[in-house]
Amino acid sequence: MHYYYDVLVNLDTELWEFYEWEENDRLIPIKKIPLFRVLESDIRNFMKYEITVDPNWLSKMEEKTIFKNGKDKTNCLLFSSTKNSIVLEFDLYGKVIGRSKLLVEDENNCNEVAMNMKEVEIPYEVREKRKQHHCLRQTLREKHFFEIELKTLKESNNTLKCSYLYYEWFGKLENDMEKMIQNFEKELEECDPRKLHEIVHIVRLSYKEQL
């Protein structure tokens, strides 16, 4: 069995790019982890779909991963196609419960190590497709924040504030609440990060002024 050493992972149900990692994330320094070379199609499946690995195969990997702090106990494995790498965390039944990409240096080193390894066929089942995010993490948070604001405006029938935000976003006047909400929701689907950030900033200021 091949191993990779001294790697930092960010285990989460979402798969964040390394530049979106945050201090409050589940950042875990791993001292030693089993490494498997797989096909690039496997890596894509691991990223795009919920998967379950054969628990009988997985049971052979128990306690093979060693954490630096000696406290964390979980079943993690590292996979590389020589082009991309990913760490997966499994429960006892083989279901993936956490994923992590690697820092750039670890990604490059891991892919280089995998070049000298034989490809392994991992016994896994592809299940439902995972929801793919095409926005940065901050944008997703702001999108959720504004969705809550739209719900609040609608429930309170605050046409005045909604019209103000509408003008700031679209540059034109509108008083039809239903039409404004629909247009806001459509824009959120397309997700213009800069415009969204500006509007969320205005909304947050509006609440501060009320204090």
Q: How far is it, in rounded angstroms, from Cα 6 to Cα 168?
A: 49
Report whether 50 contacts 127 (CB < 8 A).
yes
When pLDDT is cut at 50, 70 and 90, the band that residue 210 belongs to is low
In 5-158, where does DSSP find H-type helix? 40-48, 55-59, 104-114, 137-156
| C-alpha span between 125 and 63 (Å, rounded) | 23
Length of the chain: 211
The predicted structure's pLDDT at residue 8:
95
pLDDT at 206: 86
55-82 mean pLDDT: 86
How do strand 75-80 and strand 27-37 relate by DSSP bridges? Answer: parallel
- Given a cut of 60, whether residue 211 has pLDDT beyond it is no
Query: Which of 8, 35, 23, 24 is CA-nearest to residue 101?
Result: 8
Closest C-alpha among 194, 175, 11, 36 to residue 113 = 36
Q: How confident is the model at residue 191 (pLDDT cuts 50, 70, 90)?
A: confident
In DSSP terms, 95 is beta-bridged to 52
pLDDT confidence of residue 73: 64
3-46 residue pLDDT tens: 999 999 999 998 998 988 988 898 999 999 999 999 999 999 99
Question: Residue 207: pLDDT band by 50, 70, 90 thresholds?
Answer: confident
pLDDT at position 135: 76
As a whole number, the mean pLDDT across the chain is: 91
- Partner residues linked to 51 by β-bridges: 126
pLDDT for 182 equals: 93
Average pLDDT over residues 200-204: 91
Helix ranges restricted to H, the chain? 40-48, 55-59, 104-114, 137-156, 159-170, 177-190, 193-210
Task: Confirm if 80 and 110 have CB atoms less than 8 A apart.
Answer: yes
Whole-model pTM over 0.95: no
pLDDT band with cut points at 50, 70 and 90 for residue 161: very high
